[in-house]
Copies of this chain bind each other. A is one copy, B any other.
Amino acid sequence: MKQFIFLLFIFVSNVIIHAEDGSRLWLRYEKNTDFLPEIIFNGKHTPVIETAIDELKNYWNGKTVEFLIDKKQKNWKDGFEIIFNSEKTKLTARSEIGLLYGAYELLRLQKTGFDFMLDDKAAGSTIIGNFPKCDLRILNHWDNIDGSVERGYAGHSLWKWDELPDIVSPRYQEYARANASIGINGTVLNNVNANPKFISREYLVKIACLADIFRPYGIKVYLSINFSSPKESGGLPTSDPLNKDVRQWWKDKVKEIYSLIPDFGGFLVKANSEGLPGPQDFGRTHADGANMLAEALEPYNGIVMWRAFVYSPNSGDRAKQAYEEFMPLDGKFNKNVIIQVKNGPVDFQPREPYSPLFGAMQKTPLMPELQITQEYLGASNHLVFLASMWKEFFDAARQTFTAIAGVANVGENTNWCGHHFAQANWYAFGRLAWNNQLTCNEIAEEWLRMTFSNDTAFINPVKTMILASHEATVNYMMPLGLNCLFAWDHHYGPEPWCNIPGARADWLPGYYHQADSVGIGFNRTISGSNAVSQYPYPLNELFNNIKTCPENLLLWFHHASWNHQMKSGRILWDELCYKYQEGVEQVRDFQKTLDRIENFIDAERFSDVQYKLKIQTKDAVWWRDACLLYFQTFSNKPIPYLLERPVHDLEEMKKIKLNMKHHN
């Protein structure tokens, strides 16, 4: 069987090379044929080192590369230093994984047109040092045991649980390689809404098989666990974290896991959130729950990533609740617990302020959870370069992180991400997790050069497009701090009017936009929910004052009058109309940009992206019309007459019900 799979792999690889279907991602190196580069390494040839050497032997076409390990460079972490001189290239790292990352850097430099030629007169050398800002760079897969992917828009799960461990898809290795090439070193394989079965012996064997494939690429495996596992699958009468038997059950389970996966990373936990079980079911705290797991993992250097995504239908302001629930627990978590906090206080909206927990929990490590999959950003139909959004977060949160998580956007689709340009978000997540000081411009340019072309006539306009794409999407979906205007069943299209009898108020758009005859927006000032007080001085005062609150978050923090004077000189209603229209026009401009560069890229990827941009433009018009016509029923003001008019009818749009509950 293995033989057969190997042959299949060869066949598929060939097809991939000839069909420009996006399957090669940003790893479009040309294989050496006549040329065999010299790679020198005098140390121990571990699997990771072998991976690094193989990658260079296959694809490096420059001078001799010498690998060196310098264990003294503690601060280098997983980083590396490259010294180019006229004779050879020296790649030094503190550890084997640093050498692998350095090898990928060499290939990236080669592919993106870096000039390796040295000036002889200077007789010097060029030094590149590249060291990660953050230790754990982890993908979170919301993949279910049945092969579906929650909020997945690129087909079913990559993980074929019914085939593993007997049949091994070549894509497992390709996946690991892609991650390693951008510095990702961990992956949570299953959905945070976790099925207890994943830690059964049956599944651990399958997972160990994946861990074996990922290991030579420096990727550790993690699992989401269900807090009720002791009761659900362990046969215990309770899952109370202070119960002795429960604690022992977890210790035994962890031991079992490590016996199969010696470098297992640890657990990700969603507990007491959106109906999932957790320690509060037994009158215990999040700290009690997390610490129990941490204690079991500690002997193996495993960690617990405990999610702070909690909110209840009965509290006042959903945006305040994670802070309110977790701040009192600061300092009460074991040292191998990290609190995983979504970047914003609500839920991956196109634009949110940063979560006030960042910077506030001084005695507990926090890791941001970013969402690579476009749950609220047009799924895999819209071209949205998310680095811009994440940079906003990193710039605002102003703290260093030891760990960063990103909810993956990959699936079994041939092009991995559903949209060729969504690959840029996987890429950007890896690069920013490694170093969030990188600029969007750098990441965009790197990715475009690797994925498409080094021709500046291609790069410049397309880079301009993708750098504008997040703001464009905010404009046509929910500008000025609006959020959560999505349809009930799916988070794709607009339903600002959505009102389901008996539904939780905080699951309905009206809870967030608060539109009425006076104005629109959620009053989170001290005269309202006072969520502003969760931010440190002077941000709290800045947000609280409608005159100083950034306009792109205005309606997040204020219920502003339709007549509120904006900096543009327009009133709020008019500004809202202009923003929506601007979004539509930006996407139309993206279409123009793409069509202009048709001759620079292959026809297959061109036409795929061209098709998706059509959908995006149509959707942008749909969003504009739905939101403006609905909010107009409150503002009672005309859309400014210079602007393009709606082409949809409000009552007809209200009848649109997309069958998108399940996406894959």
Chain A residues in the interface with B (C-beta under 8 A): 588, 591-592, 595-596, 598, 611, 613-614, 617-618, 638-639, 641-649
A588 B644 Cβ-Cβ under 8 A:
yes
Partner of A641 from the list B592, B642, B643 (CB cut-off 8 Å) is B592
B644 A595 Cβ-Cβ under 8 A:
no
Q: State the Cβ distance, A447 to closest chain B Cβ, in Å.
A: 24
Q: A595-B639, A598-B638, A638-B595 are in contact. Are A614 and B649 (CB under 8 A)?
A: yes
A647 B598 Cβ-Cβ under 8 A:
no
Residues from chain B with Cβ under 8 Å of A598 in the complex = 638
* 5 pairs, CB–CB < 8 Å, chain A vs chain B: A591-B645, A592-B642, A592-B643, A596-B641, A598-B638
Residues from chain B with Cβ under 8 Å of A647 in the complex = 591, 614, 617-618
B649 A595 Cβ-Cβ under 8 A:
no
Q: State the Cβ distance, A563 to closest chain B Cβ, in Å.
A: 19
Q: A598-B638, A638-B598, A639-B595 are in contact. Are A588 and B645 (CB under 8 A)?
A: yes
Determine which residue in A595, A642, A648 has the highest number of CB atoms from chain B within 10 A of its CB, and name it. Answer: A595
Give 19 A-B pairs besides A591-B647, A595-B639, A617-B645 with Cβ atoms closer than 8 angstroms.
A588-B644, A588-B645, A591-B644, A591-B645, A592-B642, A592-B643, A592-B644, A595-B641, A595-B645, A596-B641, A598-B638, A611-B649, A613-B645, A614-B646, A614-B647, A614-B648, A614-B649, A617-B647, A618-B647
A645 B592 Cβ-Cβ under 8 A:
yes
Residues from chain B with Cβ under 8 Å of A617 in the complex = 645, 647
Residues from chain B with Cβ under 8 Å of A591 in the complex = 644-645, 647
Provide the bound-state CA to CA distance between A144 and B648, in Å.
35
Provide the bound-state CA to CA distance between A649 and B618, in Å.
12
Residues from chain B with Cβ under 8 Å of A649 in the complex = 611, 614
Residues from chain B with Cβ under 8 Å of A648 in the complex = 614
Provide the bound-state CA to CA distance between A372 and B638, in Å.
34
Q: Which residue of B lies closest to A585 (CB)?
A: B644
Provide the bound-state CA to CA distance between A588 and B642, in Å.
11
Q: State the Cβ distance, A636 to closest chain B Cβ, in Å.
A: 12
Q: Which residue of B lies closest to A611 (CB)?
A: B649
Provide the bound-state CA to CA distance between A592 and B641, in Å.
6
Provide the bound-state CA to CA distance between A617 and B642, in Å.
16
Q: Which residue of B lies closest to A618 (CB)?
A: B647
Residues from chain B with Cβ under 8 Å of A639 in the complex = 595
Residues from chain B with Cβ under 8 Å of A614 in the complex = 645-649
Q: Which residue of B lies closest to A616 (CB)?
A: B647
Q: Which residue of B lies closest to A641 (CB)?
A: B596
Provide the bound-state CA to CA distance between A646 and B645, in Å.
18
Q: State the Cβ distance, A525 to closest chain B Cβ, in Å.
A: 35
Q: State the Cβ distance, A517 to closest chain B Cβ, in Å.
A: 18
Provide the bound-state CA to CA distance between A649 and B645, in Å.
23
Provide the bound-state CA to CA distance between A19 and B634, in Å.
25
User: Which 10 A-B pairs rank lowest in CB-CB distance, beginning with the nearest?
Assistant: A591-B645, A614-B647, A617-B647, A596-B641, A618-B647, A588-B644, A592-B641, A595-B645, A611-B649, A592-B645
Q: State the Cβ distance, A598 to closest chain B Cβ, in Å.
A: 7
Residues from chain B with Cβ under 8 Å of A596 in the complex = 641
Q: State the Cβ distance, A520 to closest chain B Cβ, in Å.
A: 21
Provide the bound-state CA to CA distance between A591 and B638, in Å.
13
Provide the bound-state CA to CA distance between A644 and B618, in Å.
13
Q: State the Cβ distance, A472 to closest chain B Cβ, in Å.
A: 15
Residues from chain B with Cβ under 8 Å of A645 in the complex = 588, 591-592, 595, 613-614, 617
Q: State the Cβ distance, A582 to closest chain B Cβ, in Å.
A: 15
Residues from chain B with Cβ under 8 Å of A638 in the complex = 595, 598
Residues from chain B with Cβ under 8 Å of A644 in the complex = 588, 591-592
Provide the bound-state CA to CA distance between A595 and B618, in Å.
22
Provide the bound-state CA to CA distance between A639 and B614, in Å.
15
Q: Which residue of B lies closest to A644 (CB)?
A: B588
Q: State the Cβ distance, A628 to closest chain B Cβ, in Å.
A: 12
